[in-house]
Structure 1
Amino acid sequence: MSMNNQIVVVTGASSGIGALAAQMLSEQGATVILAARSMDKLEAVGARMKGPHKLLALDVGNDASTEAAFRQVFAEFGRIDCLLNNAGYGKFEYCDEMPLNEFSEMMNVNYMGMVRCTKAVLPYMKKARAGRIVNVASIAGKIGTAKSTAYSATKHAVIGFSDALRQEVREYGISVSTINPGPIDTPFFAVADPDGTYVNNVKWFMMKPERVARAMVRAVEKGPVEINLPWIAGVGAKWYHMFPRLANRLSYRMLNKK
């Protein structure tokens, strides 16, 4: 799919891989709607954009905000060709030490936020019998590790939702993709890992945000079922699910770096 004149909504576009992917899509000719809660941060990203774009105040964790934002987009552009669900955050803590409200809020943003945005575009895409939905999940949604019970659960939900939705919308010409990256060198860890323990332990394995952003753009262009990054993590996830008991025993020390 050529990006020329495509209308693409990118959530969580105020920083990190969302901002980079939005810039790359704009450079390829797409009209990009950058959506996030902070207009100040969005304006800073927008100032670097070379192509047509729009800044959109959107809190994916809120029903009214999501409905109003997408009504605004459809009123101005009449369609959305691709939705890139990237908004989300993480916090790493042991299950018994993580407050219940943190579990709820993380699920509300990471999973229900994606559901809200997807439901906002689906009626229009089904009517057009075309469209692409790209959901940014995580390798953490395939392989759980200590101190990520809340975060892994949200990303597992994203992957399960995407797999089921793909079957629902196939007959309408709509593709659904998931991006499952490992650790990325972005501001994500300022919240997820404030003391830097995890970052220091996996620094050698962390990916540059440009690499993941390019994969997100590729998913928008080509509509693959999923992209796992790095590739070795995807292989590891398959091996983990084929031999869960053995994999759990052998990978315990290697994976638990938080």
Structure 2
Amino acid sequence: MYMKQNKLTNKKIIVTGASSGIGEQIARHVALNGGIPILLARSKEKLDNLQHSIKRDYHINSPVYQINLIDIQEVKKLADRIIKEQEQVHGLINNAGLGYFKYIIDTSWQETEEMLFLNVNSVIKLTQLFLPHFIEHGQGHIINIASQAGKIATPKSAVYAATKHAVIGYTNGLRLETKAHHVYVTSINLGPVKTNFFRKADPEGNYQKSVEKYMLDPDYVAGRVVGVLFKRKREINLPVWMEMGSKLYQLFPGLMERLLKKQFNKK
């Protein structure tokens, strides 16, 4: 249970990948706390359904924008439109992402590009487009949803891990650059979460079955994410035990790879 935050009242927060999973729950938590989630995703039908649900449950009018974030040219047009229509945006949560859990030799170039374009390029592009807006207004918060995979790469997730490693590195550099401008930057590094992400990542369901008891609840994750909005927070790592493992891996990579060989190969 999360306490309502007055600091979110009437704040407009962009949420990418808002039509389901973590993004949908983040949007609901923003509205629960009096904020105005700006909903971005590919599925207009799902966005409209969420918009109506938020209006019914929280009496918040949440703007909807249909977009394929892989199309960078369309992203530029959409950012200009959002700023024109919304006048001031206060936060950007880069949540949209996808993965394919396959060996490198079995991963098509199209799948590789999809992960790179959505997980990395769209995050950087949206940030570049909205950062001047935040600096101009002297406030803003950029939250990037990364992954523990960005700290520990495992078999069948080399490209996905590379994209999330890039997001973590980008987020860290961005945070240092924006500190003087009163723009907060936070990385959310997650283990596996119970969402439809795995429909593409793990269509046979083998990995999900092996880690089911460790999977995070998307509502809990969303509460943690929204809880740090407009606070100076470097990163959130969930679950905590997985973050401890990543720290040990940085110190003793060879040993950890030997000890955790079975766990690393669960995909």
Relative to the length of structure 1, the TM-score reads: 0.97
* Superposed counterparts of 1:45-84, under 5 Å: 45-49=50-54, 50=58, 51-84=60-93
Matched, 1:127 2:139: no
Contact 2:184 2:231 in 1 (8 A): no
Q: How many residues align?
A: 258
Instruction: Report the alpha carbon displacement of residue 223 of structure 1 after superposing the two structures with TM.
Output: 3.7
- Tell me whether 1:12 sits opposite 2:17 in the alignment: yes
Q: How does 1:20-35 map to 2 (within 5 A)?
A: 20-35=25-40
SS at match of 2:260: helix
1-structure distance, mates of 2:67, 2:89 = 16
- Distance in 2 (CA, whole Å) between partners of 1:218 and 1:242 is 31
The answer on whether the counterparts of 2:31 and 2:37 sit within 8 Å (CA) in structure 1 is: yes
CA distance in 1, matches of 2:168, 2:231: 19
- 4+ runs deviating over 2 angstroms: none
Q: Percent identity, aligned pairs only?
A: 37
Post-superposition offset of 1:184:
0.7
Partner in structure 2 of residue 194 of structure 1: 203
Looking at structure 2, the residues matched to 215 and 123 of structure 1 have their Cα atoms a distance apart, in angstroms, of: 27
Contact 2:70 2:118 in 1 (8 A): yes
Residues 162, 176 of structure 1: 8 Å contact kept:
yes
User: Of 230, 255, 258, which aligns to 1:249?
Assistant: 258
Q: Distance in 2 between matches of 1:97 and 1:234?
A: 29
How much does 1:59 deviate? Answer: 1.9
| Match in the other structure for 1:140 | 149
Is 2:124 the partner of 1:111?
no
Matched, 1:158 2:167: yes
AA in 1 matched with 2:7:
S
Pick which of 79-88 and 44-53 moved more. Answer: 44-53
Amino acid at match of 2:19: S
Q: 1:64: how far off? A: 2.2
The counterpart of 1:98, out of the listed 90, 107, 115, is 107
Q: TM-score, normalised by structure 2?
A: 0.93
Query: Which structure 1 segments of 5+ residues have no match?
Result: none
The superposition leaves residues 200-238 of structure 1 with CA deviations (integer Å, 9 ceiling, x where unpaired) of 111111111111111211232424110010111111111
Task: Map Cα deviations across residues 43-86 of structure 1 (whole Å, 9 max, x no partner).
Answer: 11112102221111122211222112111211122121110000
Counterpart code for 1:202? V
SS of residue in 2 equivalent to 1:2 = helix
Letter of the 1:93 counterpart? K
Alpha-carbon distance in 1 for matches of 2:207, 2:72: 33
The residue type equivalent to 1:9 in the other structure is: I
